[in-house]
Amino acid sequence: MRLRPSEIIPQSICVRHGLSIGATCAPFVLALMYLLAPVAWPIAQLLNRVLGAESAHSAHVQEGGAQAVLQFHRTGEEPLRDDEISILNGVLELNTKKVMDIMTPIGDAVTLSSDTILDHLTIDFMLSSGYSRFPIHEPGKPFAYVGLLLVKKLLVYDPAKTLPVSAFALSILPEATPTINCFQALDYFQTGRAHLLLISRTPGVAGGAMGVITLEDIIEEIISEEIVDETDWYEDNTSKKRAKRMTTAAVMQGIVERGRAGETPRDRTPSRCPRPPR
């Protein structure tokens, strides 16, 4: 109920002239802040000592309020599309969603041992898997990882040489605890050091591997949809639901229809152009 008088109603009134209304009211609000500061500041400090500082629960309440406002914008003169609302909600949930909830379990991940011989059979297996990065573990220790093998490093490699994985320079395989949130994982991916993160109970100590998470996993959480590429067998690694392939024409038709459904009447009104002179 508090959203109506505090957020929804003011936004509805000020949606078109919010900047001018805010600029007009700024001196009045500033005067009230200075006028009430001798009373408000001691009360705020007292409440912080008694109740504690702002907690994660209050942040969660604010997030819920923002999501409620997004639902309000489903209707109106310029409503948001369903996929736009899903993306905004996905971004808001990144801070509270743990990587352990969306990671691929280590048992389902495609990994290689450092003593694996890269012959024709192994190279064919790697290419058919559709992955571009392979976590590498120590021989006989499937939970002790030493690095990451990038497929692009094998572009000029001749499988007839039958070299082991250990003969190639491995990229770093960063490790993180399962308690970090998706926003923290996204921040790390944005540094450009790696696009795959090993989730471990004991980061930096061998034997604690739980699963892996990629940049694609984070993007899927943002858009609230699974990304299925040409080589994926399943829509996701949790349900093991087989990926359905649609024709290109059907996919493009669906995209066009969704775009038309998101247009407002104003967008569909053809513009009037002056007639060319005769």
Q: Which residue has the higher pLDDT, 16 or 265?
A: 16
Q: 3-class DSSP state for residue 21?
A: helix
Mean pLDDT is lowest, of 9-13, 129-133, 261-265, for: 261-265
CA distance 214 to 254: 28
Q: In this predicted structure, what is the pLDDT of residue 268?
A: 47
Q: Which residue has the higher pLDDT, 226 or 160?
A: 160
Cα 180 versus chain centre, distance: 14
Model confidence at 4: pLDDT above 90 = no
CA distance 197 to 245: 29
What does residue 103 show for φ and ψ, rounded to 5 degrees? -70, 160
Which CATH code is given to the segment(s) 99-242?
A: 3.10.580.10
Global pTM?
0.62
CA distance 60 to 58: 5
Residue 247 has a CB neighbour count (10 Å cut-off) of 8
pLDDT single digits (tens) 185-215: 999 999 888 899 999 999 988 889 999 999 9
Alpha helix locations (H) across 15-164?
Answer: 18-51, 56-72, 82-93, 120-129
Domain ranges across the chain: 99-242
Q: Which residue has the higher pLDDT, 12 or 62?
A: 12
Long-range Cβ pairs for the range 72-77 (8 Å, 24+): 72/8, 77/264
- Is residue 26 a contact partner of residue 32, using CB atoms and an 8 Å limit? no
Q: Considering the chain, what percentage of its residues have pLDDT values greater than 90?
A: 46
* Two tokens, residue 57: 């629960």
Q: Give me the amino acid identity at 84.
A: E
Residue 72 has a CB neighbour count (10 Å cut-off) of 17
Of 246, 229, 242, 241, which Cα lies nearest the Cα of 131? 229
Q: Mean pLDDT, the chain, as a whole number? A: 80
How are beta strands 175-176 and 112-113 bridged, if at all?
unpaired
Q: Name, in order, each residue with C-beta under 8 angstroms of 216's C-beta and a sequence gap of 6 or more.
A: 227
